[in-house]
Structure 1
Amino acid sequence: MNNPSKYKIGLTSAVALGFAGITYVVLRKILKPKVPSEAPNLDIKIITCEEDSQDVVYELRRRSAQYHAIGFDCEWVTDQGKRHSVALLQLSTYDGYCALFRLCHLKSIPNCLKDLLEDGSIYKVGVAPSDDAKYLANDYSVYLKSTLDIRHLVELCKYDTGGLATLSKALLDITLDKSWRIRCSDWEAHKLTERQIKYAALDAHIAVKIFVKLINDYHKNPLFTLWRRNNNDHWEKISQFCSKYSDIPYKTKQKFKKNYKEYKAKESKGTKEVLSKRYPHATRSKPLYHNCFLKAPDGELLCTCDNKKAIWYVERELADVVCEDPLTVQLRFEPAGRSVGDVGRYYQLTKENKCVVCGAEDSYIRKNVVPREYRKYFPEVMKDHSSHDVVLLCAECHQRSNVRDQLVRESLAARCGAPLAPRAPPRLTDDADCKKVRSAARALLYQTKKHTLPETRRKELEGILLQHYLQHDEITNELLEEAAKIQVVFENEDYESHGYKVVEYYQQHEGLLRLEEEWREHFLASMQPRFMPELWSVKHNEERLRVRLNEGRLSEEDLKLIAM
């Protein structure tokens, strides 16, 4: 007969031994010293002449086809606080093919490289790549598209953010050489040292390595085989994941997130206010589209409109209400034109009150697809029916769109000779002498009354006034009153508006219709909106004006202004 007590003792011993074994394995794994990863072996190409660029750029494109991303970085020399033009441009693919373009020797960026940098289908990944992109735009008139700060993805994947060296150590266990001696070395030297070459290549390569790791970490689902070569739609998945972060500086996003949280907190209390002084766009508390109907005297539908416009016609006895839900009014007079073709049907369609990019319906802001700084200088014939270029965006999409618009502004500034601030002369200038005189007069007027002005200071201020008003021998109250109101701000005769110069350039060269189309094309390409109104068209104004031309409602002067 078996002894139960012995059986219990044996079972307890087995469990204890099993637990001890598991504990040993776990502790051994935890306490085992971690061996840092070695820096990867790289295939580094140094380009110092334009002839070598073609093959290298082709290879970069070929090798980046799988991931649609290349590591990107720039180096330059700073002398006594002044930055020289970008001296070195680094690009790297995930498999370790690195190209170092020595721009200080090339003097200009080859067209093949320019095309690669301005290709929106390839992400240029790094830490603060938008800053380097601005330098390339300023120095070489190259306008990068699809820059992507990997810190957006680091944050999304719930890792601690930091600089490239910190991220490299934390995510790849690779230690980068970030000595100030190499970072601030002479990147314009006749020949780069081995240490400089390795430093520059690794900065670009580590960025794209981190990018791929983060994408894979975010999609840990084994069914989501993002990087398989036979996965035909992997680019669409990457694009959907990354597009909302492209060309958005990481710092800008952080500021916006803080302001947006403040706004949401106020909104939850029942008040809708401007987000902040740094983001001065108020969300709408009322819908933009009321979708009321406006009809011709014979009952033909002309367009949809808002309540205010419909009621305006009725109150002036220019129209009658024929239906209250939805509000429909019928004109008592024949309108100047009827709806013709798709361009006319666009205005007859009802429109949704939601973000045209992401579809959010809780809050939205009016977005001028063609910015007002240009449209306000258009001839009147092109300003009619501008509602076509007003769409709704949620606050986050609106902020992203504005950041990406700046790239187009910078490109137009270079092409049209229309510098943006702060390079352009200011519209208003202060006269330092007049400000000094006004300040002295106000001090004498107000401080003397309070008996707080020392005698020596009073005489000094009176001397400033008498030096300006040479025809006066003494200070009187009338003189003080006049000097206290003296003009100190004047129009700058050298000022020329950026928007005005761009419009003037297009009037003389490509025509204003083309300027409109470029902005519309940019909005579609940069934001990829999924909920645009039906029949919204890049060539909308051209089609509308052709209808007016066929109806004899365009003058020769109008045709000349729009270069149609």
Structure 2
Amino acid sequence: MESTKLKVCITAVLAVSCASAVYAILRFKRRYRVSSEVLNYMDIQIVSDEAVCDEVVGEIRRRSLKLHAIGFDCEWVTDNGKRQAVALLQLSTLDGYCSLFRLNQMKIIPGTLKLVNKRYSHATRSKPLYNNGILQAPDGELLCTCDSKKARWYVEKGLASVVDEGEGEAPLTVRLRFEPAGRSVGDVGRFYQIAKENKCVVCGNTDSYIRKNVVPREYRKYFPDYA
């Protein structure tokens, strides 16, 4: 009797193990098949001369009429710390049409390509993003740095008074007339207290920069309201 039960248990364990193994293999094959078919979704065009450029740009513009947005990236090399001219420009549409423009092999950049990049490009900022106004608690403790417009808003609403108008290099400083819900605490609090530098967070350049959102506004406007 005991021997029969043992055989049944062993058979059941083997069956479960085999089923798990088969499931894992099938799942792996399915994932492999799906991942191998990803490129089938893409329609990749490599452009190395001006003659083909107009046709490809025209197709990009046609496909982007609905969402008015395209994917953008570019590649270049750096020689002795100096960035060289852009060698590869990549443009893609939502439906998988991807074009690789090998600019280093073109004598000129076609006008159609310049126009499409101008259409979807972002203008550089004409004034600093951060002016680092100072917001104080009623007892004078530093709460945070903030935009001067926000600081002025508190004053205009009668919620704060001006401590320093910010003449010259001195920042505009306002002091709240009410106790805030919270104060700056720990490393997070210190982050909000420091002055923000107007420079690129990647290369450190202090001019010709733009503000980039992690999720571009062109895409975010199509997100659900709860996102």
Larger relative contact order, structure 1 or 2 (CA cutoff 8 Å, min sep 6): 2
Which is helix-richer, 1 or 2? 1
Q: What's the TM-score once normalised by structure 2's chain length?
A: 0.49
Q: Give the structure with higher Rg (CA).
A: 1
